[in-house]
Amino acid sequence: MRLLTVVLAVAVLAAAPLFMTSYLLGVLTNGLIAALFALAFNLLAGQAGLLSFGHAAYFSAGGFAVIHLMKAVESGRVSFPTPLLPLVGGLAGLLSGAVAGFFATRRGGAYFSMVTLAMAELLYGLAPSMPSILGGEAGLSSMRMPWLAFDFGSDVQVYYVVLAWATVSTGLLYVYNQTLLGRLTVGLRESERRLSFLGYDTHLLKIVVFAISAMFSGVAGGLLVFSMESINYSTLGLGTSASVILNTFIGGSSVFLGPAIGAVFVTFFGSLASDVTRNWLLYQGLIFALIMMFWGDGLVAKAADVARDAAAGRTTGLVRAIRMLPAGVCVGFGVVLGVELLSGMLNRDYRAAVERSGAWPPITVFWRPWHPAAILTWAAPLVAVVFGVLLARLATQRRKHMEPPRVLGSETP
């Protein structure tokens, strides 16, 4: 059953170029790269319980290794099969991860997060002074060279290379989980002390896990460069580390494919939303913060829970979700409307227009013009949020009344 689902999913992905436009295929390519990056990150953050805030460094290590190799191939100095380029990215990730892991894993918990963040920021800060390696302000760019019968000139060919690498890497990561090393990784999270009592060298183990996570991150970085044909040192910045964290935990770190599904979901939603609003990252951050506050397991794990319960005939989770839906829609509507109105009014162009004409033109949000002077414009988002919060209160309160306290043994007749 599970195998069938996986085969079906890969088949759908493989058939994607048949029914997707070139633009959507590009988004899906980015989504697959983000998915692989999130899975690699989750090996460390979710499975080993080591929360890295600097995975941009290993992602970029792979990216820069690949761009340098591509430049060398382009100039004819060396020859290398083009579709195997990400392999070099993985190697660079592995090496940088082993070195960084040695330092970072000396401390656990919050220290680990701060050290990984600091190391990535160190590289980012030094990057402008190393233009020969990291390309300086302009960045580095190159071209994919033809290999055998393929010229890698079309989006479809790039997509298939990315899909192949993402599928194989995901498979390897899954197999890794089943091995002894994979179980030990989970052991690191659950009880490091017990592992060391059992005779394992936990520091070495952490370095190995760190390096493997960095290796697959490097493959993802290499794939990005393979598809973009360029890279800039801004990839090293906190933004890259932040996006993989958001992707991973929006999807959920406790389910194997949670981070990957989260990454594809966020990439697609982001590309759609960023066409409509410039505030997309704000909403992404809000969604992430809300998930962290209310369902720490993430969306995929939550959905899987509800689905499993519903299949077994326990519908309380489903009913609860349905009951909370109107509240969520109300609050979401109010917040988005309020933010869009305010940001629309504070926009430079809008302010300039106001100064030129002296009048306040209406702002279009949700396909409707809103006049800044009208009371309804400001009452609508406020009322929506308050109403939504009241609905949520009502839904949770009623649940308390309706569910009698469960007494042990009361199920038996």
* Contacting residues for 16 by C-beta, under 8 A, at least 6 apart: 25, 28, 159
Interface with other proteins (CB under 8 A), residue from 149, 346, 376, 407: 346
Quick check: 1 binds other proteins (CB under 8 A)?
no
Quick check: 289 binds other proteins (CB under 8 A)?
yes
Q: What is the dihedral of CA 176, 90, 117, 283, to 10 degrees?
A: -80
Q: Looking at beta carbons only, is 82 or 241 nearer to other proteins? A: 241
Interface with other proteins (CB under 8 A), residue from 279, 302, 331, 363: 279
Residues in region 11-70 near other proteins by CB under 8 A: 45, 49, 51, 53
Q: How far is the CB of 349 from other proteins (least distance, A)?
A: 11
Question: What is the rounded CA–CA span in Å between residue 360 and residue 309?
Answer: 53
* Contacting residues for 277 by C-beta, under 8 A, at least 6 apart: 283, 340
Choose the stretch contacting other proteins; rule: CB under 8 A; options: 113-121, 141-149, 162-170, 312-320: 113-121
Quick check: 98 binds other proteins (CB under 8 A)?
no
Tokens of 195: 């592992």
Q: Could you say which DSSP state residue 406 is in?
A: P
CA-closest candidate to residue 248, choices 290, 210, 300, 206: 300
Quick check: 236 binds other proteins (CB under 8 A)?
no
CA-closest candidate to residue 174, choices 248, 95, 260: 260
Q: What does DSSP say about strands 230-231 and 363-365: parallel, antiparallel, or unpaired? A: unpaired
Q: Looking at beta carbons only, is 129 or 412 nearer to other proteins? A: 129
Residue count of the chain, please give it.
413
Quick check: 324 binds other proteins (CB under 8 A)?
no
Q: How far is the CB of 71 from other proteins (least distance, A)?
A: 18
Tokens of 72: 């060398």
Q: Where are the beta strands (DSSP E) in 228-361?
A: 230-231
Quick check: 9 binds other proteins (CB under 8 A)?
no
Question: What is the rounded CA–CA span in Å between residue 211 and residue 146?
Answer: 31
Choose the stretch contacting other proteins; rule: CB under 8 A; options: 72-80, 126-134, 354-362, 402-410: 126-134
Quick check: 331 binds other proteins (CB under 8 A)?
no
Quick check: 265 binds other proteins (CB under 8 A)?
no
Quick check: 117 binds other proteins (CB under 8 A)?
yes
Interface with other proteins (CB under 8 A), residue from 20, 99, 156, 281: 281
DSSP string, 102-115: HHHTTS-HHHHHHH
Q: Residue numbers of the site for other proteins (CB under 8 A)?
A: 45, 49, 51, 53, 103, 106-107, 109-111, 113-115, 117-119, 121-122, 125-126, 129-130, 132-133, 238, 242, 245-246, 249, 278-279, 281-282, 285-286, 288-289, 292-294, 296, 339, 342-343, 346, 348
